[in-house]
């Protein structure tokens, strides 16, 4: 059944972890699926190693680019310390996907953490088909690191470690 309200995702982490890339990929995958998409982010001061978060919303129609507090379906956290500062965005029945649920040792490179977390999210987002994820990954990375990121996405998708 088609949802009336958009799917709301907040991606949070620290500057330099790839939060922006991760949310860009998600927005692009939704866009390639033909959904309306909006993505909000904050630049500047926040990039110097501080907390960073991005909002991605997709569905039939999206108005505000920002996920209202308490309305996120998913909170994707790339750094464990960033769970607490961002929990308030989640719906009561929203899903927290944390780096602590990922076997980071299985990643091809620590730099692919963001792609792996996206893989983990992909299992819970039936609105975006596999082909859209794959083409978004293809478009996002230069050839040199493309295969590595596809592998990390798969690792995340298949991660079953329970929090």
Partner 1 sequence: MESKSVLVNGDEAVAMAALDTGVRLGCGYPGTPSTEILETFSALGGRAQWAPNEKVALEVALGAAFGCGRALATMKHVGLNVAADPLFTAAYTGCSGALVIAVADDPGMASSQNEQDSRRYAAAAGVPMLEPADSQQAYDFMAEAVALSEKFGTPVLLRLTTRVCHSKTPVLRRAFPPPPPAAFAPDIPTRVMIPAYARPAHRRLRQRLAEILAWNEQSALTIRYGESGELGLIANGISVMHAREAAPQAAVLQVGMTYPLPVETLRAFAASVRRCVVVEEGDPVIADACRAAGIAVESAPEMFRYGELNVGKVRRILAGDTTPEPARPPGKPPQLCLGCPHRLVFEALRDENCLVTGDIGCYTLGVLAPFEAMHTCVCMGAAFGVGLGLRHVLPPAEARRVVSVIGDSTFMHSGLTGLLDMAYNPPESGHVVVVLDNGTTAMTGLQEHPGTGRLLDGTPARQILPEDLARAMGIERVTVLDMDTKGSGFRAALRADLDSGQLCMIVARRPCILSLRKQRKTEEAKKEGAGQ
List, in order, residues 6 or more apart from 158 with CB less than 8 Å away: 119
CB of 83 to partner 1, least distance (A): 10
Q: Which is nearer to partner 1, 61 or 131 (CB)?
A: 61
**Residue from the set 17, 18, 21, 39 that interacts with partner 1 by CB under 8 A:** 39
- Residue 54 DSSP code: E
Interface residues for partner 1 in 84-123 (CB under 8 A)? 84-85, 87-88
CB of 28 to partner 1, least distance (A): 6
**Residue from the set 24, 59, 113, 120 that interacts with partner 1 by CB under 8 A:** 24
Pairing of strands 72-77, 7-14: parallel
**Residue from the set 3, 60, 65, 138 that interacts with partner 1 by CB under 8 A:** 65
Question: How far is 113 from 92, CA to CA, in rounded Å?
Answer: 26
Count CB atoms within 10 A of the CB of residue 122: 20
CB of 21 to partner 1, least distance (A): 13
List, in order, residues 6 or more apart from 36 with CB less than 8 Å away: 6, 58, 59, 60, 61, 62
CA 96 to chain centre: 11
CB of 159 to partner 1, least distance (A): 25
41 interacts with partner 1 by CB under 8 A? yes
47 interacts with partner 1 by CB under 8 A? yes
CA triplet 110, 55, 99: central angle to 5 degrees? 30
SS3 20: helix
The residue count for binding partner 1 (CB under 8 A) is 36
- Contact residues for partner 1, defined by CB under 8 A: 14-15, 24, 27-28, 31, 36-51, 62-66, 68-70, 81-82, 84-85, 87-88
């Amino acid at each position: 059944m088609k949802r009336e309200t958009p799917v709301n995702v907040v991606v949070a982490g620290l500057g330099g972890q790839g939060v922006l890339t991760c949310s860009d990929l998600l927005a692009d995958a939704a866009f390639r699926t033909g959904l309306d998409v909006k993505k909000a982010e904050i630049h500047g001061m926040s990039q110097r190693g501080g907390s960073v978060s991005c909002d991605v919303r997709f569905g039939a129609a999206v108005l505000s680019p920002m996920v209202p507090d308490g309305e996120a379906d998913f909170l994707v956290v790339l750094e464990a310390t960033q769970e607490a500062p961002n929990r308030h965005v989640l719906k009561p029945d929203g899903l927290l996907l944390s780096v602590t649920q990922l076997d980071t040792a299985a990643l091809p490179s620590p730099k692919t953490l963001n792609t792996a977390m996206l893989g983990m999210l992909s299992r819970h987002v039936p609105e975006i088909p596999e082909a859209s994820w794959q083409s978004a990954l293809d478009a996002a990375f230069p050839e040199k690191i493309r295969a590595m990121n596809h592998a990390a996405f798969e690792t995340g998708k298949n991660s079953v470690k329970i929090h």
